[in-house]
């Protein structure tokens, strides 16, 4: 295994990011668990190739988003999953039901966007600026700006529907 303790530290620091990506790209709880695990696995596979030229968070977003694109729902039917606790996916307890309800609305709206828009909006919600989004997605900063403005319009029209 690549530098095990370093990898564990990185994953622990980024567990929130992985959770948020899994929740937006997966269809249901089982699928979320499966995608979460697949992202951790892909990060582990790519960990040796990470060079400090880019920020670790940029690298994590890249791998996690690319994994989500190619993630196949059928995978979960290929055998039981071990090693992932329910608590990793079920983050909010009953006290947070109002927050969870509003978050469900948010997820539903974002899930209606196409794959490119979903990636860009996720990074925008994560507080990334245009240049950072451009570095992760490969689109130009100007293009990211244009797309975000279209996404805003789209979200508004979703509200009217």
In the complex, the residues that contact other proteins under the rule CB under 8 A are 1, 4, 7-8, 11-12, 15-16, 19-20, 37-38, 40-42, 44-46, 49, 62-63, 65-67, 69-70, 78-79, 81-85, 87-88, 91-92, 96, 99, 102-103, 105-106, 109-110, 114-116, 119, 121, 124-127, 135-140, 143, 148, 151-152, 155-156, 159
Q: Return the number of the residue (31 or 62) whose C-beta is nearest other proteins.
A: 62
- Provide, rounded to whole angstroms, the least separation between the CB of residue 55 and other proteins: 14
- Provide, rounded to whole angstroms, the least separation between the CB of residue 28 and other proteins: 19
What is the full DSSP assignment across 77-123?
A: GGS---S--HHHH----GGGHHHHHHHHHHHHHHHTS-HHHHHHHHH
Place of tokens 């696995």: 41
C-alpha–C-alpha distance, residues 81 and 32, integer Å: 12
C-alpha–C-alpha distance, residues 65 and 134, integer Å: 14
């Amino acid at each position: 295994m690549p530098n095990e303790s370093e990898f564990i530290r990185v994953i622990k620091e980024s567990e929130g990011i992985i959770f948020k990506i899994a929740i937006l790209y997966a269809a249901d709880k089982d699928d979320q668990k499966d995608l979460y695990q697949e992202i951790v696995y892909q990060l582990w596979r790519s960990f040796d190739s990470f060079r400090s030229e880019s920020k670790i968070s940029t690298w994590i977003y890249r791998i996690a988003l690319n994994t989500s694109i190619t993630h196949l729902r059928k995978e979960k039917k290929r055998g039981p999953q071990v090693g992932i606790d329910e608590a990793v996916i079920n983050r909010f307890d009953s006290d947070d039901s109002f927050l969870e309800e509003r978050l469900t609305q948010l997820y539903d709206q974002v899930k209606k966007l196409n794959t490119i828009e979903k990636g860009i909006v996720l990074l925008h919600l994560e507080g990334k600026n245009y240049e950072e989004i451009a570095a992760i997605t490969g689109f130009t900063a100007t293009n990211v700006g244009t797309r975000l403005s279209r996404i805003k319009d789209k979200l508004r029209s979703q509200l009217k529907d």
